[in-house]
Structure 1
Amino acid sequence: MFSSKKLVRSVALSACLIVTFALSYVQFDTISGDAGLFKRLEYLMYDTRFNLSLALKPKFENPHNIIIVDIDETSLLKEGRWPWSRDKVALMIDQLANAGALVVTFDVLFSEKQINPTDRLIEVLNKNDQPNIADQLTQFRSQTDYDLALSEAMSQIDVVLSILFGEDEAFEVGQLPMSLIINEQIDVSRLMLRNAHGFTSNLPVLMDSAIGAGFFVPSVDTDGIIRSVPLIQKYNDKVYPSLALATGMAYYVIEDISINSARLNQFTDIVQSIGFVDQTIKTGAIGDVLVPFAGPQKTYPYISASKVLTGEGLEQFENSIVFVGTSAVGLSDLRSTPVGTQYPGVEVHANLLDGLLSDHFPYTPDLSGKLMALIMVIIGLVFSIWLHRFGAMNILGLTVAMILLHFGSNFYFWHYYALNLPMAVPLILLMSLGVVNFIEGYVKEGQSKKKISNMFGQYVPQAHIEKMLSSQGEYGFDGENKVLTVLFLDIRSFTTISEQLSATQLKNLLNDFFTPITEIIFNNQGTIDKYVGDMVMAFWGAPIDDDRHALNAVHGAMAMQEMVIQLKPEFDAKGYPDVQIGIGLNTGPMNVGDMGSSFRRAYTVLGDSVNLGSRLESLTKFYGAQIIIGPDTYEQTKDTYACRLIDKIQVKGKDEPIVCYEPVCLLQNCTAELQTELDDYHHAYQLYCTKQWGEAEIELTKLEKNGTRAFLYRLYLERIVELKEQDLEDAWDGTYRHTSK
């Protein structure tokens, strides 16, 4: 057993070692570029923070009228497989030009000539010894030269084409556009840009008609997700723009940009910012920027290419910037991004262009690495010198508070100032040091049989205590995952009750109430978790295993309701106000164990199933029910208890709906009249779920007049009145979403 001083020294040493390891690893990770654990965690936190920030922002308004013409599945079905004939693409451009589009950018390549059908026909005629007819067809060649037709269409509007840069030096297809004009003092050969060795571009006849072109393959992080994209790239010591930058330059009718660089070493310069129009865009060392995603897929308007070809809805293209790309799965332009895993690449360019036009890009400060090191040193000092003095639960609370403080401040600078500051490594460090210090507080707490007895005597029946003490090795209290049943009981209108009584009377009322409640829990093999004011929390199935934990919990809940009735005469005699309770029960996987300090310990359950039990208790008043049980509790007790389906609900913070029930009575005590009422109600509920409003109202009205749960039936009648006025989706299944806890 460690002495306190030795334990403190061990914890302090462990904290120092953890901080040293974290600093060393991060430094190595920065220098080597290795995609290690920390970097992957940083990516994960970046994505989480990005999506949380988007959820808090107002709806995107598309201020620059950027529209995506989508070569989607519908277009392929109507117009045929891609690539389409160039005359069809020319028609699309004509339609957009006539509709008033300002710039049209193609996120596709036109690198190969289209075979002229007249040439093919002449070839066939010559092979069949019909040269006269072939000579006559020659005059029609220009009319079926669809590459030329596309070039002529492009000359009527500003069109930006795409370039695909690659690593193969022998691979040079098509014609490159003019390189960017940049400030003369920049030595391009020294710039640390992505350097291409080959390219695939478009036909010269098309490039001559286009106003510009840009590369269209963005960079991908080591986990396969696009978060940043270079705005410029090198080829043969010349600088070329990205597709978004080329589109922005076409929109502003400019040919040059400026580059602000800094000396890295005697051979290399890094990019610090790019001057675009009157903006200074801060970039990474290779001229890359974080993509300012405005939202998930289809945040920008998507118009099917087939509609453009038929002239449908062209009025929305007036004064627009159009990107032509594809969301069709078969055309392989779907990317993984922080805001979606099936995100069309064309919309990445749209987001980048919006960032250029709005002068809004997230930015990683140059001092972010040093800032992260400083944060980690401060965290290490706090945990090593100060935090270990507290007990385990206080350490846990302070650790959580520090985590929330770090996350909150980091998120604040991201959300309001678009600053990308390090998040994952300090969080991991906080959790690691919190665990080390928590273990210290935990180890310092006593483990003797007497302490076990003192701790659990107020929570579990004496029979449980005796069994635990006699088989101590079988029971671990460090925490384990088990399927248990949890119960939450709350006295309704407790604030009103407390206002009517003195402090002494209120204490006596609670004592008189909780004593028989505790006895019922113990008699039904339950474990008291805690009393909090007017609330009781208990669970079944731990620390002693109980295969009937759900049934015993429902037995206990029903007995509690009977006890409230039995206590009424006694409470009336003492002048106490009327007491009513609501009970929520839920069965599911939970983490159970005891935690605490030398001053106080608690044997408790944690997890989503526990939270749901608490939510169910809070819903008893909403549905006018005395007891509400979760779906798993119902499945384990339906052969013993007659139950009334309450609702299919989606509680706040959960995506999946659940069906909750109200136990009515033991099946053996269920009268024919009550069973008929239950059957009629369940039938009415099915009518409600299938949107058969009229029939459901008739059934529920009858039940409201003659049934035992008029409050519930009236609730559904009121809900139907509201739902009738709503445009419910076809997949609506009756789920009611509760927006408060």
Structure 2
Amino acid sequence: MAWALVPVVLGVLHASGVLPLQLLERLEHLVYDVRLRLTLPHTLDERIVIIDIDESSLERVGRWPWSRDKMAAFTTELFERQGVSVVGFDLVFAEADDSSGLKSLQQLSRGPLKDDARFAGEVDRLVPELDFDARFASALDTQNAVLGYYFTSDRDGKGRGALPAPVFTPQQLGDSALRATEWNGYGSNIDVLARAAPAAGFFNAMADADGLVRALPLLAEYQGRYYESLALAVYRSLLGGADLMPAFASAEADVGERRILRGIALRHAGGRAFLPVDDQLATLVPYRGSGGPLGGSFRYVSAADVLTGQLAAGSLRGKVALVGTTAVGLQDLRATPVGRTYPGVETHANVLSGFLDGKAIYRPDYGPAYDVVQMMVAGLLLAFSLPLLGAGQALLLGGVVFAALVGLNGWLYLGFGLALPLASALAVVLLVTALDMAYGYLTESRTKRGLAQLFGTYVPPELVDEMLLAPERYSMQAASRELTVMFCDMRGFTAMSERMEPVQLQALLNDIFSRLTQAIRAQRGTIDKYMGDCVMAFWGAPVPTPQHAALAVRAALDMVKSVKLLNTQHRASGLPEIGIGIGLNTGSMCVGDMGSDIRRSYTVIGDAVNLGSRLEGLCKVYGVEIVASEATRMQAPGFVWQELDRVRVKGKEDAVAIFCPLGEPGALTQDQKSQLDQWHQALASLRAQDWAACDTQLEALCAAAPENPVLAWYRERLAQLRVLPYQPNWDGATRFDTK
């Protein structure tokens, strides 16, 4: 019974905030996500339409941002011809539009042509036509438009553009403060647009520790004033500019005290509305479906169709239009519980749809107290009952308590919109039941399971099995060790992202990453992280491996072969081909568990790691797929190496010799070996500043291999060097000042 109470005590400490447990927080997110996905309505809200700056729009109209005269025509089309009721822009217009050339003409009229009155008059006459910002502002003026902007929390706390008027000031709140998300900077619209638009709202999202967006703040604090979100601003505009009033949990507060806001009350001509919020003044997003043009929750209309007038007049009459983007290159796709590439504009559409339905999902401020009560009731019931029951009866009681907690939570969620905690209580029920039935097994295998959980996502399973044989030898504590690091970057990713749909691009990237990861793990490599289209890995930790450099080189060669095979398949199926660049370096690095309290990872840092990253970038310069340092080459003698150059990379003054592995000795033909010898002679002639000999040798090599990119690069370099005078102290190194 005493041991069964341990999960109850831990759960209560976690729920009360005395001992927050990240695992339970993540589990809470998981339970919430499952509950959300099971209750999605999957219905179309015809009141809201999303005007999508999609890939098709960028192809037809041009790259973003579009000129403001086009935005003026776009806005006029929405309001006057289509008859929308409100337009909300999930965009920010932070810079003036000088694309018309008006600024240059005005400079001429005030400068070289200031005495030409006729020219000055023509410029003045063209101002209304060429001042694109003013034209856009004129289209926004007197219309029911809501501009977007964002807050930041950077180190400098800078503000850019013009903020709208706050909805609450300290004076309106009686000099007390709200428990809101605080920001110290912002990026807003230029003044002429901000003054023309009747309203504006910030479009910041709130990503949880796992990176998923589950909530949107309705209010945010900046310099003691409180500003409304885009969804709230659009909703107020739709209600004719409803007045906002705070609804506090307590009636009075001392000056400067932070008060708990229970919700936001709206008063408008048609009545009143109440929007409940959590302790961060946020509301959970009531997602309707999987998101995107094919998600079925909202109608998506291509922005190009609106701009070119291809929609029938009045087809959007009376609707709320939210202008946003699903184009991958514009980076407004978010990870959410219902989709990993979810359009950011649709999160605001979901919140607005909930407002219109009178539906809100929120975490009430008494959630922790509710969690404590349910854990204590369920946990104590099981702790004192299970030891008195047999195995079958104990499992039945545990199941009944589990189902009761789930049923009660689901009823409160569906009936009242209360997102109350559940995961911790379920975890307590499961743990108490498991401890009662398998305490001995759990205590004996605790160390091995913990080690597997720590390293299982980083290293191959076979290495984890080795570590489990002597778990006491391994920890995630930082240590300095000699390792080999790899950086692998994909080439052609940008072109792919412009031509492929997000789902198709995601599937392609997953396939490529899976192949590269298999090659790394097959050679006992540890995956450090995935960074966009880049993979970082290292060898020699957590399991010490003397041959770490050779294993890394072999993995790199296997990755090149795997990508070539993949490109063969792509050519046959019509998919785009890709290339990769791999940088390898061996040296002393710091390896261990690093990060913040919110997110940590098992990674490597140090000067040797930075050099590996720089070498990966040199693959593009020399046209090869692998660039390795001399330290890696010296520890991997079982390969044939081609020396590429000596370089001074950014951040290092000492020259570093770089090499490209060509394969194992038996893989090269006699002609290839002869050309390699000839290449090293040409390199020696270059460094000796014997330009004539080097030129002759490069000509011979180019005749044998005319498409070799390394030779082409050196011929250009030779043409630049041979015009320079003889330099007695020249070491032949190439300097690179960019990363």
TM range (shorter): 0.5 to 0.7
Shift of 1:188: 5.1
Cα–Cα, structure 1 residues 354 and 140, in superposed 2: closer, same or farther, change >3 Å?
Answer: same
Alignment partner for residue 206 of structure 1, among 193, 209, 226? 193
Which one of 93, 114, 130 corresponds to residue 75 of structure 2?
Answer: 93
SS in 2 for 1:292: coil
Q: How does 1:463-478 map onto structure 2 within 5 Å?
A: none
Would you say how many aligned residue pairs link Structure 1 and Structure 2? 425
1:173 aligns to 2:167 (yes or no):
no
* Match status 1:271 vs 2:261: yes
Q: CA deviation at 1:23?
A: 1.6
Is contact 1:118-1:137 (8 Å) kept? no
Correspondence for 2:275: 281
CA deviation map 1:539-570 (0-9, x unaligned): xxxxxxxxxxxxxxxxxxxxxxxxxxxxxxxx
| Alignment partner of 1:228 is 2:215 | yes
Matched residue type, 2:6 = L
- Aligned: 1:76 with 2:58: yes
2:101 match: 117
Q: CA deviation at 1:127?
A: 9.1
The 8 Å contact of residues 219 and 226 in structure 2, kept in 1 or not, is answered as: yes
Residues 1:317 and 2:307 aligned together: no
Question: 1:384-399 alignment to 2 at 5 Å?
Answer: 384-399=383-398
| 1:606-617 map, 5 Å | none
Identity of aligned residues (%): 32
Where 2:207 maps in the other structure, the secondary structure is coil
* Paired residues of 2:170 and 2:177 also in contact (CA < 8 A): no
8 A contact 1:107–1:346 mirrored in 2: yes
Question: In the alignment, is the contact (CA less than 8 A) between 1:182 and 1:257 conserved in 2?
Answer: no
Q: 3-state SS of the aligned residue for 1:302?
A: strand
Paired residue type of 2:247: N
Q: Which residue of structure 2 lines up, in the alignment, with residue 547 of structure 1?
A: none
Taking structure 2 as the reference length, the TM-score comes to 0.54
Give the structure 2 partner of residue 345 of structure 1.
344
> Which residue identity does 1:147 align to in structure 2?
D
Matched-pair contact (CA < 8 Å) for 1:108–1:161: yes
- State the alpha-carbon separation in 1 of the partners of residues 66 and 253 from structure 2: 50
Distance 2:245 2:212 in 1: 29
Q: Residue 60 of structure 2 aligns to which amino acid in structure 1?
A: K
Does the aligned pair in 1 maintain the 2:391–2:437 contact within 8 Å? yes
CA distance in 2, matches of 1:89, 1:185: 36
Amino acid at match of 1:317: L
3-state SS of paired residue (1:89): helix
- Aligned residues of 1:93 and 1:153 also touching (Cα < 8 A): yes
Q: Output aligned runs, 1:367-516, within 5 Å.
A: 367-439=366-438
Contact 2:162 2:189 in 1 (8 A): yes
Matched position secondary structure for 1:227? strand
Report if aligned partners of 2:67, 2:132 keep a CA contact under 8 Å in 1. yes
> What's 2:11 paired with?
22
Q: Structure 1 residues 126, 365: CA separation in 2 closer, same or farther (over 3 Å shift)?
A: closer
Q: Show CA shifts across 1:202-245 (max 9, x none).
A: 12211121110111112221211111222112223222111111
How far 1:185 moved relative to its partner? 5.9
Pick the aligned partner of 2:181 from 173, 178, 194: 194
Which of 254, 260, 269 does residue 247 from structure 2 map onto? 260
Q: What secondary structure does 2:280 align onto? A: coil
Tell me the alpha carbon deviations over residues 671-702 of structure 1, each in whole angstroms, 9 at most, x when there is no partner. xxxxxxxxxxxxxxxxxxxxxxxxxxxxxxxx
2:228 pairs with 1:245: no
The letter of the residue matching 1:37 is: L
Structure 1, unmatched stretches of 5+, are 1-11, 444-741
Question: Does structure 1 conserve the Cα–Cα contact (< 8 Å) formed by 2:286 and 2:350?
Answer: yes
How far apart, CA to CA, are the structure 1 residues paired with 2:243 and 2:18?
A: 34
Q: Tell me the C-alpha RMSD between the 2 structures.
A: 2.8
Change in 2 beyond 3 A, CA 1:184/1:258:
farther
Alignment match, 1:307 = 305
Long gaps (5+) in structure 2: 443-739
Q: Given that residues 78 and 84 in structure 2 are in contact (C-alpha distance below 8 angstroms), is that contact kept between their aligned partners in structure 1?
A: yes
The amino acid of 2:413's aligned partner reads W
Residue identity opposite 1:308 in structure 2: V
Structure 1 residue 434: deviation in Å? 1.4
- Matches of 1:35 and 1:227, distance apart in 2: 20
3-state SS, counterpart of residue 165 of structure 1: strand
Q: Does 1:66 align with 2:60?
A: no
Kindly state the Cα deviation for residue 286 of structure 1 after the two structures are TM-superposed. Answer: 3.0
**Superposition map of 1:698-709 within 5 A:** none
Specify the code of the residue in structure 2 equivalent to 1:21.
L
Equivalent-residue separation in structure 2 for 1:172 and 1:166 (angstroms): 9
The AA in structure 1 aligned to 2:318 is N
Q: Is the 8 A contact 1:283 1:363 kept in 2?
A: yes
Residue equivalent to 1:49: 35
Q: Which has the larger radius of gyration?
A: 1
d(CA) in 2 for partners of 1:125 and 1:412? Answer: 72
C-alpha distance in 2 between matches for 1:68 and 1:35 = 39
Match of 1:145 among 112, 117, 131: 131
Q: Letter of the aligned partner of 1:269 in structure 2?
A: R
Name the CA shift for 1:219/1:402 in 2 (closer, same or farther; >3 Å). Answer: same
Deviation sequence 1:299-344 (CA, Å, 0-9, x none): 1111110111121224331001111111111111111112111111
In the TM superposition, residue 255 of structure 1 has moved relative to its aligned partner by: 5.2
1:13 aligns with 2:2: yes
- 2-structure distance, mates of 1:436, 1:149: 71
Q: Secondary structure at the match of 2:127?
A: helix
Q: TM-score, normalised by structure 1?
A: 0.54
State the Cα distance separating 1:280 from its structure 2 match: 1.9
Q: In the aligned structure 2, how far is the partner of 1:170 from the partner of 1:371?
A: 38
Contact 1:104 1:321 in 2 (8 A): yes
8 Å CA contact 1:92–1:309 kept in 2: the answer is yes
Tell me, what secondary structure is at the counterpart of 2:427?
A: helix
- Shift of residue 20 of structure 1? 1.6
Q: Which residue of 2 aligns with 1:105?
A: 88
Task: Give the conservation status (yes or no) of the 8 Å contact 1:191–1:270.
Answer: yes
Cα distance 1:172–1:363, how it changes in 2: closer, same or farther (>3 A)?
closer
Q: State the 1:123 CA deviation.
A: 5.4
1:606 corresponds in structure 2 to none
Q: CA deviation at 1:140?
A: 1.6
Q: Distance in 1 between matches of 2:14 and 2:68?
A: 54
Tell me: CA distance 1:135–1:125, structure 2 relative to 1, closer, same or farther (3 Å). Answer: closer
Quickly say closer, same or farther: Cα 1:389–1:92, change in 2 above 3 A.
Answer: same
SS of residue paired to 2:413: helix
- Alignment partner of 1:13: what SS? coil
Residue 291, structure 1, aligned to residue 285, structure 2: yes
Shift in alpha-carbon separation, 1:201–1:402, aligned structure 2, 3 A: same
Q: Does 1:328 align with 2:306?
A: no
| Aligned match of 2:570 | none
| Amino acid aligned to 1:143 | E
Residue 379 of structure 1: how far off its partner (Å)? 2.2
Distance 2:39 2:332 in 1: 26
Change over 3 Å in CA distance of 1:22–1:196 after alignment to 2? closer
Tell me the distance in 2 between the aligned counterparts of 1:401 and 1:374: 18
Residue 288 of structure 2: SS of its match in structure 1?
A: coil
Q: 1:130 to 1:163 in 2, by over 3 A?
A: closer
* Equivalent pair of 2:371/2:421 in contact (CA under 8 Å): yes
Q: 1:319 to 1:31 in 2, by over 3 A?
A: farther
